[in-house]
Structures are given as C-alpha cells and as structure tokens.
Amino acid sequence: MRSSLNHPPLLRRLTIAGGLAAALAFGTVSAAVGGVQAQGASGASGASSADVSADAPAAKNASLTGYDREIVDQFDSANSVSHIRHLAVDIGPRLNGTPQEREGAEYIGGLLKSYGFEVTYQQWGPVSTKQVAKVTSPNADLPGGPNWQMYASASGKFTGDAGVEGRVVYAGTGQSAADFPADTAGKIVLMDYNSTASIRNTAVANAADRGASAVILAYPTGNSAPPSFTLTTSQPGIPVIGGGSAHYTWIRGLLDKGPLTLRIATNQYANPMGTNVIGIRHAVGDPTGTTAPIVMVGAHIDSVLGAPGAHDDASGNGVSLEVARVLSQYPLDKELRIGGFGGEEGGLLGARAYVNTLTAAEKARFVGEWQMDMVGTPYEPARLWALTPNGKSNFVVQEAYDAAARAGFDGLRNCRLGQSDHQAFYDVGIPSSLFIWLDYRPPAPPAVCGPTGGTYVTEPEYHKPTDTMDNISPERLQITLDVVGGAVAHNALNAVTVSATSDADQPVAGAPVRADCGSGPRDLGTTGADGRLQAVLPHATCDFTTTVEGRTATERGVSIAGDRAVKMTVDFTKPTISLTTPADGAVFTLGTAATASYRCDDNLSGVATCTGTVPDGSPLDTSAVGFHEFTVKAADNAGNVADRKATYQVVYPWQAYFPETMDGKAGSAVPIKFGLGGDRGTDVIASGYPVSRPVTCDTGKATGPAEPTSGPGNSKLGYDDGQYNYVWKTDRGWGGSCRQFELKLDDGSSHLTTIRLK
C-alpha cells in the first residue's frame, strides 16, 4: 500500500465536533430515503457513524487461512491507486457519452484482456447532448496536469479537439473597461461567474470586444461544480466555458506565480452513445458460460461534468481491477464478471442497459453483484457501508461481513441507499449492494434502516473538480480490497466443506487441515466443534491431510470442480496382529525347520506395515537351545502402532536311558544315562541342577525341599559313545524313602525319575 498521496494521515477516531462541523460546512446533507420494507439489516440501526469503530482492522487478516489469506495478501491498493490515477488524471473527467468515458472503458477493458478476460464493449443510448471543454496546458510542469473539464456553452464556439491556446489574463467581473488588462487581445480571459444572465452577457461581450481568444467564467467563491449557462448574445467566434470554484482558485493561483498558458478544446457531443465494458472470465468447466454461477463486481466509469472522479468512481474500478488481477491467477469454477458501467451519473443508465441484456437464465446464475462506488476517501467521518436499496442485509452484504470478520475489520455497516448501479441489479432480482466510504447516518432508534434509511454527508470533493488523487486514501482502498475483494474472491472459489471424522464416526474438532492442490501445501484452518471446516479452493486436484494426536489422515487426488464436501477419516484404532508361528509357548527341537507366519491388518485401509523378528515366511531360528522372544510390530497409515510378542523354546532331542521309576539302595550310586542327539559338550545342565527331593512313595508328592546332588562321590557329567552319564550318589540316610531326581538342562527342559530306596 502506498501512502505517497497528499493527504493527512488518517485519524483512527472521529472527533464528533470537528468532524461533523467540517462535514456540514462543505458536504451535502440528503433527505432521508423513504421506503416500506421491514428491517432486516445486520445491526446497522442504532449505530451512528460516529459509533462505527476505527478504519484500520483491529488485527489485520486475523483469521484468514488458506486461499482466502493467499488472495487477500496479494491485494495491493498501490495497484488500485495507479489505475485511479490513470482514469482520473491521465484521462481526466469522464462524462457520460464523451470520448473520455470510452477511453476509461478501453483502459479497463485492456487490462481485463491482459488478465485473460473476454471483453465486450456495450454501446447504449443515445443519451443527452454533452458540451464539454477540455482545459490543458502545454506546460507539463504545472501542478495537477492540468486536465480540467469545464462546461462549454453553446453560445460560444465549439473548437473541436484542436482547441485554442493562449496566455490567460484575469478580468474580475468583466463589467467595466478597468477590469481588463491592456493586453487582453488574443488572450484567454478568466472572469467571475455570475448567476445573473445579464451580468454574464456583459462580461463575455466585453471580453469579445477586446479580442479575447476564449472566455472562462468560473465561480469565484464557495465549492461549486462548473456552471452550465447560455448567453443572450452568443459569441460564435470564441469558446465560452464555465469553470468551478476550484478551477477559479487554481487559475488565479497559477497567475499569481507567473505567466500561464492554457489550451481550451470545446466539443459538443450530440446525442452520443454511452459505453459499458464487461469482462467475463469463464469457469473452467463452462467455457461457453451457460451453467456456472456468476460472481460480479461493478463500478462506474463516468464522472459528473468537471470532476476527475478519482473517488467517484475511478476508485471502484481501481479496486475491481485489482480483484480481477489477483483472481485471474486461479482456475475457477465460477464465472467472474467485471463491469465498468457508463452513465451512472445520468441515472444508472449503463447498469440498466446491461441488466436489460441479461436473459432470465443468466440472471438466475448470479451469485451476486458487489458494486463499488467511492471506495476510499480520506474524508475522516466516512466509514465503509454496505448499502442496499431496501436497507436489508442480503447474501452480498453477509459475505462482505464475513470477509470483514476474517480480515479483522469490524467497521462495516449495512443500511439503506440506492443511488448507484447496485439498484439496477436489485431491480431485476440480483442480490447486490453498494460498498461506499461515506459519512452515512442511519436513522435513530427505534427507526430501522429497512423502511426509512438514513441521511448522509459527502466529502467536500464529491462531484467537484477537487475529486482528485488527494481524495483517495490508499489505506481505505486496502480495507475495501480486503473486505469486498475478500468476499468476491471467497465466492469466486469453490466452497469446500472438509469434515474430520474419527473411525468411530465421531466429529474430530481442532483438526488442522492442509491441502496441496499442486502448488505446495496450504493450511486451510482447523475444524470446529462439529468437526467441519469451510474452505475455499480453486478448480484443482488436491491432496488433503490432517494430523490429530499423531494420527494422520490423508485424502489424495480429490477433484475440486465446484462446491463439494471432502471427508477425512482419522484412524484412532491400532492395527491388529495375528501371529501363527511361533505361537506363544511353542517348543521346537534344536535345528528343526519351522517357518514364521504372521500378518497385520488395519481397520480402515486394510493394510498395515508388519515387521517381525524374522520376515513372515522365513525360517524361524531353532539353532540355539533355550527360550527365544519373537516380536511383531505393526503400523497403519495413520501412525497407529501395535506389537505382539511370543516366546518359544528350542530343546535338545532328548533321549532318556533311565526309567521313570526304579528301585535302589540308599548310599549307592545311580547312573542316570541320557542322549541329546549328539555331543553337546558337558556344559548342558542348568546351574544348580541336578537336584533331588523327598517324595511320598504312593503319590509322588514332594515332602521336603530340593537339595543339590552335590558332595563327595557325585561324579561330573560324562559323555561317551553317544551317551551322557551322570552318576548320582544317594544318601544312606534315605533308606526306606522315595526320592525324586530332577535333571534340568540348559534348554529349559526338566527330566525326572523317582527312586524307591531300601
């Protein structure tokens, strides 16, 4: 946003005394606008314009996300300012039916074409004859151009575009010889305009008698637009033109500084045609424009005679064009229309001509029309208003309120007013609203906007030659871009409802949703309590993803071609693992072949990654005796994990060469012989073993603690010829009892025999 314009910095608050006094001194107070409809406006009634909060967004773009943010971030009021400057300064006043209205249309049309819009120029009319003087200077250094427009009297000469050029002299009221400088001949004579016809007539006749090359009658005081007038004695040899008070002040000021040369070209445009420019950008899927919803933005090109119309309404086009530029970068499923209407100041002529061309089917496709007329004056008491012909809120107004809320701007209000092109759309049933920075005063409660409307005070420059770049606020244009442009963009994109639901079909609140529509990821915001998020997206194929409590849900390749819903299911359920081999507690003989067998499943996607100690289908390790842990880990797409363990045992191929029960003699040695399928070395007995314990001879139940079979005479384990031999020395004292012998091996297996001792 540029702030190079020559106006004081905006004050955040209106001081009522100063603000209203200034407004009443210079502005126009309208009558209340009557009506019959009931109030439906969003909270405008009761708020006086002084109550309306500050201009600047409290927290700029506070809750903008996704494409809303991306688009609003690109709106730059500096671009709007440069369009306004071209329209108001380079082209200048654009009176309906004059070439300047057409030039304005072509400037807008050229830009729209460059943004890829299909552009048509509508001519309509004829309209009333226009008589205008274009007043310029060959001295390019003069402040303000100048590129003034004055009224060209039909009592004077119409020079055509060539015009006359000459030095300017000032001749007061021009009523007596003393008023005229000696060198008046050949000069352009500036005199005070007088509302009395005879005084005017005398002044012009006196100037003509002295050989003036042209006459300017301009208001010497006040704040007046150029007057239109005739003379009782026509002066067909010289142009006779009427200037506003500002023209008078500017010329006198320049004359005070030194010689001034002006060029005056007077033209009469007899029953000319007015011009509209309409830019259409078709929806992706509807290149012929037959079905797609239409989002339209409008502004008026024309200005009143004498006014450069920087604010009224080059500003509206400046905003429209910036909205068009930014939106033209996105493939859209809505049809975008930008209207530049001529003849608004003549009674909404261009807009009415335009809506008359719409077929019923076309009208039915309209989402709405956002009309921008006077969208950023620095005039302090002005606030941003959404004004509708019936004073009620409608879709267009509501969308602007929503965009304002997203942008953190709470200064938008709604009330009742026609008086601009939105009325033409309203009259044919298309939702529309006028967006305007205006010191509008809604009716005092209990009256409401609906039936009565309010009053307003315009800025002093309204409809005056002083409606120049000084009457433009880049800051307020930026607010208009963010609010109105933000609403238009929001509607031009597809409305997509993204819902996040758990796999148990419950809404998931607070889920941050991201979308990648082919040009990088964007945060779309966070789901609300209902698990939903309203997003806007261009025509695209998008991947959606959200991560909640470490669980990621992804929807890939979602085709966004129109408004639609996208459902994301967040999987909170762990994958399941079924482990067949090894089963928990399974026993395998050393070196035998066994195959791992397991699988993992997910409730949502079906698949889960599954990793075991050895891969599924691979041989299980049975190469070492003892207990082995086998684990399987599973992870689903969402990031849920599960694991499962099984313990299996690998044992020697056991061969017992002793009976389960035997008889013996206490104090003798008992050989315990066994085989382990080969020589496994002599370190095969679990530590602390063998043991023996006293048992009941009948039942075999232990009657005392196990004791190690250690002590003198107990031999070590021997191996010979494929057999292990352990010599167990029994105790003499055990005579007449039974004893159980337990041999536990390092493979975890235990082997028992019971002996009855004599």
Which range of residues in 130-138, 210-218, 305-313, 644-652 is near Zn ion by CB under 5 A? 305-313
Of 327 and 415, the one with the shorter C-beta distance to ligand BES is 415
* Separation of alpha carbons 93 and 150, rounded Å: 9
Q: Which is nearer to Zn ion, 119 or 225 (CB)?
A: 225
- Identify the three-state secondary structure at position 588: strand
Sign of the torsion formed by the C-alpha atoms of 155, 161, 164 and 167:
positive
DSSP 3-state of 309: coil
How buried is 616 (Cβ within 10 angstroms: 0-12 exposed, 13-18 middle, 19+ buried)?
A: middle
Q: Which residues pair with 240 in a beta bridge?
A: 215
Distance of alpha carbon 373 from alpha carbon 312, whole angstroms: 6
358 phi/psi in degrees, rounded to 5: -80, 130
Tell me which stretch binds Zn ion (CB under 5 A): 36-44, 311-319, 540-548, 573-581.
311-319
**Candidate ranges 41-49, 306-314, 377-385, 649-657; the one touching Zn ion (CB under 5 A):** 306-314
**Per-residue binding letters, 337-356, with Zn ion (x by CB under 5 A):** --------x-----------
Q: Which is nearer to ligand BES, 441 or 551 (CB)?
A: 441
Partner whose binding site includes residue 456, from Zn ion, ligand BES, none (CB under 5 to 8 Å by kind): ligand BES
The nearer residue to ligand BES, 347 or 713, going by C-beta atoms, is 347
Q: Which partner from the list Zn ion, ligand BES, none does 314 bind, CB cut-off 5 to 8 Å by kind? A: none
Phi first, then psi, for residue 112 (nearest 5°) are -60, -40
- Interaction partner, residue 420 (Zn ion, ligand BES, none; CB < 5-8 Å by kind): ligand BES
403: three-class secondary structure by DSSP:
helix
- Structure token pair of residue 322: 């910036």
Q: Which stretch binds Zn ion (CB under 5 A): 309-317, 333-341, 425-433, 681-689?
A: 309-317
Q: Min. distance of Cβ 383 from ligand BES in angstroms?
A: 13
Indicate the residue among 55 and 345 with the shorter CB distance to Zn ion: 345
Question: Containing H/E element for 552?
Answer: strand 551-560
Name which of 411 and 538 has its Cβ closer to ligand BES: 411
Rounded CA-CA distance 25/116 in Å is 46
Whether 729 contacts 669, CB under 8 Å: yes
- Pick one of ligand BES, Zn ion, none as the site partner of residue 419 (Cβ within 5 to 8 A by kind): ligand BES
Closest separation between CB of residue 97 and Zn ion, Å?
15
- Report in angstroms how near the CB of residue 345 gets to ligand BES at its nearest: 5
How far is the C-alpha of 288 from the C-alpha of 160, rounded, in Å?
Answer: 43
Which partner in ligand BES, Zn ion, none is near 369 (CB below 5 to 8 A by kind)?
none
**What is the rounded distance in angstroms from the CA atom of residue 636 to the CA atom of residue 634?**
7
CB nearer Zn ion, residue 333 or residue 345: 345
Burial class of residue 169 (count of CB atoms within 10 Å of its CB; 0-12, 13-18, 19+) = buried
198, with CB counted inside 10 A (0-12, 13-18, 19+), is exposed
Tell me the closest approach of the beta carbon of residue 392 to ligand BES, in angstroms: 18
Q: Which is nearer to ligand BES, 375 or 488 (CB)?
A: 375
Instruction: Report, in Å, the least distance between residue 463 CB and Zn ion.
Output: 6
DSSP lists the bridge partners of residue 664 as 757
Instruction: Supply the minimum distance, in Å, between the C-beta of residue 424 and Zn ion.
Output: 15
Q: What is the DSSP string of 405-456?
A: HHHT----EEEE--SSTHHHHHHTT--EEEEEEEEEEPPPTTS-HHHH--EE
Q: Which is nearer to ligand BES, 163 or 343 (CB)?
A: 343
Which is nearer to Zn ion, 341 or 674 (by Cβ)? Answer: 341
User: Which lies closer to ligand BES via its Cβ, residue 417 or residue 684?
Assistant: 417
Q: Least Å distance between CB 310 and ligand BES?
A: 12
What is the spatial distance between Cα 684 and Cα 689, in angstroms, rounded to a whole number? Answer: 10
Kindly tell me which of 324 and 424 has the beta carbon lying closer to ligand BES.
Answer: 424
**Partner from ligand BES, Zn ion, none binding residue 322, C-beta < 5-8 Å depending on class:** none
- Neighbour tally for 362: CB within 10 Å: 15
Q: In whole angstroms, how close is the CB of 369 to ligand BES at the nearest point?
A: 15
In the beta sheet, which residues pair with residue 496? Answer: 535, 564
Question: Using CB distances below 5 to 8 A depending on partner kind, what does residue 68 bind out of ligand BES, Zn ion, none?
Answer: none
| Residue closest to Zn ion when measured from CB atoms | 312
Residue 370 identity? W
Q: Decide which of Zn ion, ligand BES, none touches 179; Cβ closer than 5 to 8 Å per partner kind.
A: none
532-537 and 521-526 beta bridge pairing? unpaired
User: Least CB distance from residue 350 to Zn ion, whole Å?
Assistant: 13
**Pairing label, strands 164-170, 261-269:** antiparallel
User: If DSSP states are collapsed to H, E and C, what string results for 490-503?
Assistant: HHHCEEEEEEEEEC
295 φ, ψ to 5°? -110, 120
Among 192, 302, 312, 335, binds Zn ion (CB under 5 A): 312
Bridge partner residues of 249 (DSSP): none
Nearer CB in complex with ligand BES: 76/313: 313
Q: Least distance from C-beta 348 to ligand BES, angstroms?
A: 5
Q: Taking CB within 5 to 8 Å according to partner kind, which of ligand BES, Zn ion, none is near residue 348?
A: ligand BES
* Distance from C-alpha of 154 to C-alpha of 147, rounded to nearest angstrom: 21
Residue, CB closest to ligand BES: 419
Residue 421 engages Zn ion in binding (rule: CB under 5 A): no
484 binds, options ligand BES, Zn ion, none, Cβ within 5 to 8 A by partner type: none
User: Minimum CB separation from Zn ion for residue 266, in Å?
Assistant: 24
How far, CA to CA in Å, does 358 sit from each of 238, 275, 366? 46, 16, 10
The structure tokens 């099984």 sit at 646
Q: Which of the listed partners (ligand BES, Zn ion, none) does 374 bind, with a CB threshold of 5 to 8 Å by partner kind?
A: ligand BES
| 164 contacts 263 by C-beta, under 8 angstroms | yes
Q: Shortest gap between Cβ of 225 and ligand BES (angstroms)?
A: 12
Q: Report the residue number, 101 or 313, with the smaller CB distance to ligand BES.
A: 313
Q: Which residues pair with 551 in a beta bridge?
A: 548
387 and 436 in contact (C-beta within 8 Å)?
yes
Closest separation between CB of residue 96 and ligand BES, Å?
Answer: 10
- Positions that interact with ligand BES (CB under 6 A): 312-313, 344-345, 347-348, 373-374, 417, 419-420, 438, 456, 458
Q: 363 φ, ψ to 5°? A: -60, -40
Choose among Zn ion, ligand BES, none what residue 347 binds, the Cβ cut-off being 5 to 8 Å by kind: ligand BES
> Residue numbers of the site for Zn ion (CB under 5 A)?
312, 345
